[in-house]
Amino acid sequence: MSLLWLFLLPLGPLIGSYLAITSTKKFQEELNWFLAFAGAYLLGITLLNLIPEVFQTFDPYKGLLVLAGFFFQIFLERFSEGIEHGHMHIHHKLKTKVIPFGIVASMSLHSFTEGIPIGSLLMNNNPSFYSLLFGIILHEIPAAFALISILKGIHIATKSLRNISLIYGAMALLGSAISIYLKSSINEEFFDYFMAFVIGTFLHISTTILFENTEQHHFSKKKLSAVFIGIALATLISLGLH
pLDDT at 73: 86
**To the nearest whole percent, how much of the chain has pLDDT over 90?**
14
Domain with 208 in it: 15-241
Q: How far is CA 79 from the centre of its chain?
A: 16
The per-residue pLDDT for range 225-237, each reduced to its tens digit, is: 888 998 998 888 7
Please check the confidence at residue 77 and state whether its pLDDT lies above 80.
Answer: no
Report if residue 48 sits inside a domain. yes
The domain tally of the chain equals: 1
| Res 106: pLDDT | 85
- In a domain, residue 209? The reply is yes
Give every CB contact of residue 235 below 8 A, 6+ residues apart in sequence. Answer: 44, 48
Is residue 96 assigned to a domain?
yes
Question: How does residue 89 score in pLDDT terms, banded at 50, 70 and 90?
Answer: low
pLDDT digits (tens, 9 = 90+) for 172-190: 999 898 888 776 666 667 7
Is the pLDDT reported for residue 212 higher than 60?
yes
Structure-model confidence comparison of residues 84 and 142, the more confident one = 142
Q: What is the pLDDT of residues 123-151, one digit of tens each?
A: 778 777 888 888 889 888 888 888 888 88
Q: Does residue 5 lie in a domain region?
A: no
Residue 4 placed within a domain = no
pTM: predicted TM-score of the whole model, two decimal places: 0.79
How many angstroms from the chain centroid is the CA of residue 109?
11
Model confidence band, residue 55 (pLDDT cutoffs 50, 70, 90)? confident
User: What's the pLDDT at 39?
Assistant: 84
Flag whether 204 is in a domain.
Answer: yes
Could you write out the DSSP letters of every residue in 129-146?
A: HHHHHHHHHHHHHHHHHH
Instruction: Determine, yes or no, domain membership for 9.
Output: no
d(CA 184, CA 182): 6
DSSP-assigned states of every residue in 19-80: HHHH-SSTTHHHHHHHHHHHHHHHHHHIIIIIHHHHTSS--HHHHHHHHHHHHHHHHHHHHH
Residue 2 covered by a domain: no
Per-residue model confidence (pLDDT) at position 50: 84
